[in-house]
Structure 1
Amino acid sequence: MKQNKYDDLDFFEKYSRMPRSTDGLKAAGEWHALRELLPDLRDKRVLDLGCGFGWHCRYAREQQARSVVGVDLSEKMLERAREMTDDFAIEYRRLAIEDIDFPENDFDVVISSLALHYVERFDIVCQKIYRCLAPGGTFVLSFEHPVFTAIAAQDWHYGPQGERLHWPVDNYQNEGPRLARFLDNDVVKYHRTVATHINALLDSGFRITKLSEPQPTQEVLAKYPEMRDETRRPIFLLISAIKNG
C-alpha cells in the first residue's frame, strides 16, 4: 500500500507547523547523528527518498554534491520543496519509494530520512537501492525505532496524575502494519524488528558500517524542551551501509 497522507490538506497543514518543517534540519533531534553518518558529498550524485520539503537535498548541494534527485509521493511536499529551492542541480520527482527504477550505478549516495517505516516491502526497496548505487556507494537511512513502532498506540503508559511512567513495548516480534495516530490522523506504519532491517540490508549485499540510536542534543533540548522525553527511549534508528565492490 502506498500512502499519500501528506496531500491531505488538514494533515499537510499540521505537518507544516511542526518545528522540523518550519526550522529545518536544526530542529530535527536526530540530524546531528544522521549528518555524522553521511560520507563526503563533494561531487557526489545523491538520491533522497522521501525528500519532503527538500532539506537534505539542499544540504547535499551546500556540501557541493554534483547533482541531487529528490523523490516523494506527495505533490504538496514537492511543491513546497520547489518553492524553497533555487538550484539547477536539484531535481524533484513525484514517485513512490516502492516504484523507483533508476539505472544501475546511477548514484553515489542514497539518503532516506523517516520515510521507510511507511513502506511495506523494505527488502525490495533495499534491493532497488543497491542496484542504483555505484560500487562503494553509501546508503544512509533513518526510520522510527522498532521499540517505538511495536505498539500501534505509540504512546506512554501514564500514572494516575497523567505523568509519563514508561514506554510500553509489546508484540515486538509480530511484524506488520500498525494503524497509528499522527497529527490527529490515522496513518499506517510498518513495524519490523531491528534484525529484519539489518538482515534485509545484508541480504541485498550491503556492508553495514554504523548504527545510531540518537537522542536530541542539549542545544536542541534548550530550544525545544518538549523533546526532553526523547531521551528516555529510542525513537529513531539510523543505519549507514556501503555497497560492496
Structure 2
Amino acid sequence: MKNEIEKNWDDMAKAYEDFTEKEDSYSYAIEWPCIQKILPKLNDKRILDLGCGTGRFSFLFEKENPLSVLGVDISEHMLSIAKEKAKSRGSKVEFIQGDISNWHTYIDGKFDFIFSSTTFHYIKDIKDLFCNMYSALEDKGVCIVSLMHPIYTAQYPVDKNGEFPSDDEWVVRYLDKSKRAYVQPWIEYNDNIENYLSMSYHHTVGDYFNAIINAGFRIEKVEEPSPPESWKQSCYIRYNAFIETPSYMIIKLSK
C-alpha cells in the first residue's frame, strides 16, 4: 500500500515536471548554477541521486562522464517520466523505485558522489539518513545536499488534520516541529488539477548540522544562493519574494 508521500508525488508528477522544467524555474535559475560551482570532478565516478524525481540532476551529472549514475525515488510516476526521458536521450542512467529513508537496505556498494535535491524535508529521521550516506560514501567521497531552506519550510502551515490552511497561516514558526500541510505551487497554479495538500516536515538549521556532524561528515561549503540579478527587472515580485524567504540551503560534505 502506498504511503501518503508516495501517493502525493504520483499524483503530482506531470504537474511538477511541467512547472520545474521551465528555463526560468528556481531549479535551473538558482539551484543548478550554485551546485555547479561546488561540484567535484565526476568523470569515472559512481553517483547516487537520492530522491531523483524525474531525473533532472541525474541527466546533468551524466554529462560529466561518470562511471555510473543511479537515481532513486519513491514515486513510480516520477520515475516513469525519468525513464521516458532516458530512453529518448539514449541515457544510461539507471532508475529504481524506493524510499530513500531506508535506501541502504536495498542498494549495495559504495559511491564516490551522493547527491540529493529538495527531498530531506519529506524524511522524518534525517539522523539515520546522513549516517547511511556516510557509510556508503567512498573514502574522499563527496556529498552535496540541496535542502529546502529551513526558513522556507518554517513558513509551511502546521497540519490541522487535513484541513486546508488559509493564507494568513503561512507564517514562520521556526521552532515548531509539527507536521506541515500545504498546497504546492505546481498544483496551486495549475487549472487542470484540483488543489490538495502535500505533507512534509520542518527541520531547523541545527537539526541538519547536528545530523551531519554526528554522522562524521566534514562540512566543506554552505551556500544560500540568491536569485538572478536580471529578475530585478524582469520579475521583481518573484525576486523580492526570494530575497525575503530563501528557498535553498546547499551543503557540500566530504568523508
* TM-score of the pair, normalised by structure 2: 0.81
- List aligned pairs for 1:156-235, cutoff 5 A: 168-170=171-173, 172-182=174-184, 183=187, 184-219=195-230, 227-228=238-239, 229-235=241-247
Aligned to 1:110: 114
Q: CA separation of 1:223/1:133 partners in 2, compared to 1, >3 Å: closer, same or farther?
A: farther
Distance 1:199 1:75 in 2: 32
- List aligned pairs for 1:1-20, cutoff 5 A: 3-4=5-6, 5-8=8-11, 11-18=12-19, 20=20
Q: CA separation of 1:178/1:13 partners in 2, compared to 1, >3 Å: closer, same or farther?
A: same
Deviation at 1:202, TM superposition (A): 0.8
Query: What do the CA deviations read for 1:49-84 (whole angstroms, capped 9, x no partner)?
Result: 111111211111101111100001111111111111
Deviation at 1:153, TM superposition (A): 3.0
2:54 is the alignment partner of 1:53 = yes
Show structure 2 runs of 5+ residues with no match.
159-164, 188-194
SS across alignment from 1:209: strand
Q: What amino acid is aligned across from residue 17 of structure 2 in structure 1? A: S
Q: CA separation of 1:44/1:221 partners in 2, compared to 1, >3 Å: closer, same or farther?
A: farther
Q: Does the CA-based 8 Å contact 1:149-1:191 persist in structure 2?
A: yes
Q: Which has the higher helix share?
A: 2
Q: CA separation of 1:98/1:90 partners in 2, compared to 1, >3 Å: closer, same or farther?
A: same
- Number of residues of Structure 1 aligned to a counterpart in Structure 2: 230
Aligned to 1:240: 252
- List aligned pairs for 1:19-30, cutoff 5 A: 20-23=20-23, 27-30=28-31
Deviation at 1:87, TM superposition (A): 4.4
Aligned to 2:191: none
Distance 1:221 1:45 in 2: 39
Distance 1:25 1:65 in 2: 26
SS across alignment from 2:16: helix
Q: Does the CA-based 8 Å contact 2:180-2:199 persist in structure 1?
A: yes
Q: CA separation of 1:151/1:88 partners in 2, compared to 1, >3 Å: closer, same or farther?
A: closer
Distance 2:82 2:26 in 1: 14
Q: CA separation of 1:176/1:42 partners in 2, compared to 1, >3 Å: closer, same or farther?
A: farther
2:47 is the alignment partner of 1:42 = no
Deviation at 1:27, TM superposition (A): 3.2
Aligned to 2:66: 65
SS across alignment from 1:191: coil
CA RMSD of aligned residues (A): 2.6
Aligned to 1:90: 93
> Which residue, out of 153, 156, 159, partners 1:149?
153
Show structure 1 runs of 5+ residues with no match.
159-166
Distance 2:149 2:81 in 1: 27
Q: Does the CA-based 8 Å contact 1:153-1:181 persist in structure 2?
A: no
Distance 2:130 2:4 in 1: 17
Distance 1:3 1:203 in 2: 27
